[in-house]
Amino acid sequence: MKIKTRDNVRPALEMSSMTDLVFLLLIFFMLVTTMIVPNVNALKLVLPNSTTSQKQKDLTISVAINENMQYFVAEQPVDVANLRAILEQKIGSEPNPTIILHTDFNVPISYVVTVMDIANKMKVKLVLATQPEK
């Protein structure tokens, strides 16, 4: 009597169906996340009315640097040493002043950084003015 011996066959685990499932889930989540739009109108707020109908404008000061490396505040020539004092004088006690910086294309960046440093020390918002492409 012969006893049958088992062949040592390892069970095979097919991964192809699992990878298909992972890719389908990935595509599903990618599509769903693009469709999610935050609902901005979810809160129904009743905002208070204003007694004054005028909107308060913030102060903007124009600072320019021309191709000769000369500084101008509101189209008036200014020395670099006096730039901060003149800006502080023009700003006064305005709540949210903004400096708009206009520079020539050929002005070295160090001149621009000088105005940026002054605005930063004064804690004033600075905006760089650009020209649209032609």
pLDDT in tens, the chain (134 residues): 677 766 777 777 777 888 999 999 999 998 888 777 665 555 565 556 666 656 667 788 999 998 889 999 988 999 999 999 999 999 888 888 999 999 888 889 999 999 999 999 999 999 988 776 65
Domain extents for the chain? 60-128
pTM of the model: 0.56
- In Å, how far are 41, 46, 52, 58 from 49, measured between CA atoms? 19, 9, 9, 21
pLDDT value at position 117?
Answer: 95
Which CATH code fits 60-128? 3.30.420.270
Nearest to 112 by CA among 127, 124, 94: 127
Place of tokens 């685990």: 13
Amino acid at 86: I
User: Residue 78's pLDDT is what?
Assistant: 92
